[in-house]
Structure 1
Amino acid sequence: MTAEQQPERIGRYVRMVAQPGRGAALADTLLRVASGLRDTPGCELYLINLSADEPDTIWVTEVWADEAASDRALSADLGDVGIGEVLELLAGPPELVDLRPLGGTGLPTG
């Protein structure tokens, strides 16, 4: 399948910087968010990454079947973890990089 034939998946990298010394708490909270998204329709990947050289910086790698799936899931209560729990740990607003996933190991094929 060529890039033009790919479904309209969306992806993003999200960089979150925790308040000083709160990186582990942010990571734990985001891991609970990821666990809650495990069976969410349209969520193909929600991966939590700790920066190798910045202990208070977390990167989230997301892949969604489409924009609507992302909007539905991330505007919900996120199960036991509300978005407010994540926001209260942040030192500033998250930084987003929007992507158009084309494929690769680990992604389901159309």
Structure 2
Amino acid sequence: MSKFVMLGKLTAHPGQRDELARLMLESSESLEAMEGCLQYILSESADEPDVLWISEIWESAEAHAASLKDENVLAIISRCRPLIAAVTPVKLRALGGKGL
């Protein structure tokens, strides 16, 4: 399977999770038309009040890398950066399953 899967744990500065989520959801609108993006889901942690999780599935690692050069995505990242205390990326290799 050649799909590129990535999870990202975003820890917002205290009290900034909702604003960060709002900005991140704006980025998902930009990704609707992004070539190679199959899935982009933003979730909030039920146990950690400042944590958001991003689940992404891309056609390839190259498609994901290209998205990070897109001017709309770069603008969203720039707006989100001050709200983020920590980022923990988790790169995965999809083996199979429903939705792939």
Q: How high is the TM-score relative to the length of structure 1?
A: 0.82
Deviation at 1:74, TM superposition (A): 1.9
In the other structure, the counterpart of 1:105 is 98
Deviation at 1:16, TM superposition (A): 0.4
1 CA distance for matches of 2:30 and 2:53? 18
Deviation at 1:102, TM superposition (A): 2.4
**2:66 paired with 1:72:** yes
Query: Any idea what SS the aligned residue of 1:68 has?
Result: helix
2 CA distance for matches of 1:66 and 1:89? 29
| Residue among 23, 32, 37 paired with 1:29 | 23
2 CA distance for matches of 1:11 and 1:80? 20
In the other structure, the counterpart of 1:3 is none
Answer 1 or 2: which has greater strand percent: 2
Identity of aligned residues (%): 32
Q: Which amino acid is 2:54 matched to?
A: V
Unaligned runs of 5+ in 2: none
Answer 1 or 2: which has greater helix percent: 2
Please provide the CA RMSD for this pair.
1.6
Q: Which amino acid is 2:99 matched to?
A: G
Alignment: residue pair count:
100
Q: How high is the TM-score relative to the length of structure 2?
A: 0.90
C-alpha change, 1:80 and 1:100, in structure 2 (3 Å) is: closer
Unaligned runs of 5+ in 1: 1-5
Q: Which runs of 4+ in 1 moved over 6 A?
A: none
Deviation at 1:39, TM superposition (A): 1.7
| Residue among 42, 47, 52 paired with 1:48 | 42
1 CA distance for matches of 2:67 and 2:73? 10
In the other structure, the counterpart of 1:88 is 82
Report the structure number with the largest CA radius of gyration: 1
